[in-house]
Amino acid sequence: MPELPEVETVARGLAKILEGKTIEKALVRRPDLRLPFPKGLASKLKGLRVLHIGRRAKYVLMHLSNQLVLLVHLGMSGRILLGQGAAPTGKHAHFVLLMQDGAWACLEDPRRFGCVDLFDAESQEQHPLLAGLGPEPFDPDLDARLFMQRLIRKKGPIKPALMDQALIAGIGNIYASEALFRAKIAPNRPCNGLKERECELLLQALRKVLEEAIASGGSTLRDHVRPDGELGYFQHHFAVYGKEGHPCPRCKDKASILRILQAGRSSFYCQRCQR
Ligand SMILES: [Zn+2]
């Protein structure tokens, strides 16, 4: 499932191809994904210019002319295909933007957990998918103190709390485990027992793992985004995620990575160096 770095990579890849271009035609091939496509979406998009493409949490936001914003969420299995010429016809190619210069971008989503919406830019803050989101991890106003104030209001363990989009936006299962490892904090530590220094280390670790993943997504972009490219997933090295039974990268042969279940999701960590 794409997390913040993957979505950031998708947004940057889309920006490279689509920004400044005009939508010739949109193809909406189903009534819905996880949510219904907005009524009249294709006719509303026709002729609009793509001004800027960005991201909020795990949502790609395309700022269009007429003060409209097109939101795209990749869900569990969504990816973006880019191409030139005839629009793709695959059975999962549910939504396609065809540009006036012949470029196209297609949302392919076999499991259909993704969604697409179109709304007025001025209503963005009140949008049901965006309104309850916590700060972005890179928000300069988010410092250790504020992060701690948000954390201590939570009752349970730290790992599921990091994945709570209302607490901090964009973090999923992978980068929560990776950041806790970097910060040497055990995933089952209660949130309200963390010290300010630990919150500071955790926030730094979150930013570092996300930055590194975005950088490796960026190098994937340079290597792989051709006109027939695909956006959504890239190879990235993880220290603990998916490494159950492997030696801990810090403790070497003295400890190996454990997997535990928390709120139904796997957490990976080292019992020896994460406290
Ligand atoms: Zn260790």
Query: Residue 1's pLDDT is what?
Result: 73
Residue 93 amino acid letter: A
CA of 23 to the centre of ligand 1 (A): 52
In 45-170, where do the E strands start and end? Answer: 50-56, 59-64, 68-73, 79-84, 93-99, 103-108, 115-120
Query: Residue 233's pLDDT is what?
Result: 60
**Residues in the chain, pLDDT under 50:** 223-224, 226-228
Q: Are 75 and 117 in contact (CB under 8 A)?
A: no
How does pLDDT run across 167-190, given as a tens digit for each residue? 999 999 999 999 999 999 999 999
Indicate the helix (H) or strand (E) that contains 268: strand 265-269
Q: Are 246 and 97 in contact (CB under 8 A)?
A: no
The residues annotated with a catalytic role in the active site are 2-3, 58, 265
Query: Residue 60's pLDDT is what?
Result: 96
| Euclidean distance between CA atoms 28 and 265, whole angstroms | 34
Q: Are 275 and 184 in contact (CB under 8 A)?
A: yes
Q: 209: burial class by Cβ within 10 Å (0-12, 13-18, 19+)? A: buried
| Euclidean distance between CA atoms 69 and 15, whole angstroms | 14
Which among 153, 201, 148, 177 has a CA at the least distance from the CA of 265? 177
CA of 270 to the centre of ligand 1 (A): 5
Which domains does the chain show, CATH number per domain?
Answer: 4-126 (3.20.190.10), 144-238 (1.10.8.50)
CA of 151 to the centre of ligand 1 (A): 24
Report the residue count for the chain: 275
CA of 168 to the centre of ligand 1 (A): 26
Cβ-count burial 224-253 (b if 16+ within 10 Å, e if not)? ebeeebbbbbbebebbbbebeeeebebeee
CA–chain centroid gap for 155, Å, is 25
| Euclidean distance between CA atoms 219 and 12, whole angstroms | 12
CA of 240 to the centre of ligand 1 (A): 10
Q: Are 121 and 69 in contact (CB under 8 A)?
A: yes
CA of 172 to the centre of ligand 1 (A): 22
CA of 255 to the centre of ligand 1 (A): 6
CA of 16 to the centre of ligand 1 (A): 40
